[in-house]
Amino acid sequence: MKAVKLALLELRRFRGPMRRLVPALLCLVPLLYGAMYLWANWDPYGKTDRMPVAVVNQDHLAHARQGSRV
C-alpha cells in the first residue's frame, strides 16, 4: 500500500495541462513500441508467395588428381 501512496504523491506533482499530458505520453511510448513489434512479427510467412525468388544451380564437378586430397 505504501508504493501506491508514493505513486499517487508523485502524480500529484504534475500540475497544469502540459504537465498532466507528459505521464500519459510516457506511457504511450512503450505501448507504441510493442504494437509495432507485434505488427512486424505477426505473420512473417504470410506474404512469401509474392516474393520474387530464383534458384540457380551452376555447380561444376570437382575432379581430384590421383593421390591428392580434396
Nearest CA among 39, 43, 21 for reference residue 31 = 39
Q: What is the pLDDT of residue 70?
A: 56
Q: What is the pLDDT of residue 10?
A: 79
The pLDDT profile of the chain, 70 residues, written as one tens digit per residue, is: 799 999 888 777 777 777 778 778 888 999 999 999 999 899 888 888 898 999 998 888 877 778 776 5
Residue carrying C-alpha cell 509474392: 50
Domain spans, the chain = 2-43
Note whether 23 and 11 are within 8 A (CB): yes
The whole-angstrom separation of Cα 64 and Cα 70 is: 6
The answer for residues whose C-beta is within 8 angstroms of residue 17's C-beta and 6 or more apart is none
Residue carrying C-alpha cell 507504441: 32
Q: What is the pLDDT of residue 1?
A: 76
